[in-house]
Structure 1
Amino acid sequence: MQKSVALAYVLWFFLGYLGIHRMYCGRVGSGVAMLALTVFGTLTVGILIGHILMMIVGIWWLIDLFLTAKMAGFPLR
């Protein structure tokens, strides 16, 4: 089922670090993984591992800028 690409990008922009846009697009497993990395990274930001995890989520979030349309079912050519 095709999802709204506009809504997927709104979710990506505002709640992207939590993986909500991935869950909306049907990628629940990776969305939960993104959420877990964000929560664990936030809790451990006082030590080095938290910064590394947040950097990983940030890079993942930027990569999803290009993947969200396809995940939502928009036909790319």
Structure 2
Amino acid sequence: MGKSVALAYVLWFFLGYLGIHRLYCGRIGSGIVMAACTVVGGLTAPLFIGHVLLFIVGVWWLFDLVLTARMAGYRG
């Protein structure tokens, strides 16, 4: 049985940069990687690498707008 698509999108919108929506949908590995990139990017923001990591997470977050429904198990 799939997860709630509505809850997955609420998590995506408010906590998506931390990968919480991925953790909820059972994508533990990629959720942890997303959270780690956000934390490392935030801590190294004064350096150029921090901005690059945060940009990557932002693009990943936007791609997840489309992918979250499928990750949550929506088959429609």
What is the DSSP-based 3-state SS (H/G/I as helix, E as strand, rest coil) of the residue aligned with 1:3? coil
Aligned mates of 2:13, 2:28 — CA distance in 1 = 18
Aligned mates of 1:29, 1:56 — CA distance in 2 = 17
Q: Which residue of 2 aligns with 1:73?
A: 73
Percent identity, aligned pairs only?
Answer: 70
**Superimposed CA distance per residue, residues 14-55 of structure 1 (whole angstroms, 9 cap, x where no aligned partner):** 000000000000000000000000000000000000000000
5+ residue gaps, structure 1: none
Would you say how many aligned residue pairs link Structure 1 and Structure 2?
A: 76
TM-score (norm 2): 0.98
Q: Which residue of 2 aligns with 1:63?
A: 63
Q: CA RMSD in A?
A: 0.6
5+ residue gaps, structure 2: none
Q: Which residue of 1 aligns with 2:54?
A: 54
Aligned mates of 1:41, 1:17 — CA distance in 2 = 11
Q: Which residue of 1 aligns with 2:18?
A: 18
Q: Which residue of 2 aligns with 1:37?
A: 37
Shift >6 Å, 4+ stretches: none
